[in-house]
Amino acid sequence: MSAKTDKLLSILKLQPVVPVLVIDDAGSAVPLARALVAGGLKAIEITLRTPAALEAIRAVANEVEGAVAGAGTILNAAQFEEAVAAGSQFIVSPGTTQELIDVANDHEVPLLPGAATASEVMGLREEGYDVMKFFPAEQAGGAAYLKSLSSPLAGTMFCPTGGISLANARDYLTLPNVVCVGGSWVAPKDLVVRGDWAGITKLAAEAFALKG
């Protein structure tokens, strides 16, 4: 197992649920991240789906004690470079391209590449990846599908993301090939808009309790 894989696993094993955030207002990033960390969720994925994303990553990386800021929805080398420059400690992609693999090889920051089929998993294993994002989890076959991959593709670990909630997270977390899940339910848009940070800390604590 490579040093980068070790680094990635050490981040993903911090908690059972990695919050997947879409941040519209960079000003909310720091209080939101502090609320999540207070609930036990230290590794935080901020997706590059909004113009505020890079500023949000930079703020969380610099200002939130205990937070491990990561960047999600990375689609190409340029975004990878921007996310690393902003302070991302891990990079997440919904799928995988050779361009992403090549840029990841040039950096110490680990990549969690996306895969949804056995062939994609096998291709990533050939590139030296043992830890992947299973996306979109529910739409791609859910926990039953992922369980069926555990025997033929033994030794591969997944962070399923997409359609996962408090109601079905345990279905994934009990699988032998799942290290954690990604979820947006811990930071609902209405609570963020209202600035209900205590409410988000409560949701984060519920998610962290899934570890048991």
Active site amino acids: 45, 133
CA distance 40 to 23: 20
Contact criterion met (CB below 8 Å) for 109 and 84: yes
DSSP bridge pairs for 115: 134
Which CA distances in Å does 149 have to 52, 135, 143? Answer: 37, 14, 10
CA distance 8 to 110: 6
Name residue, tokens 């891990």. 90
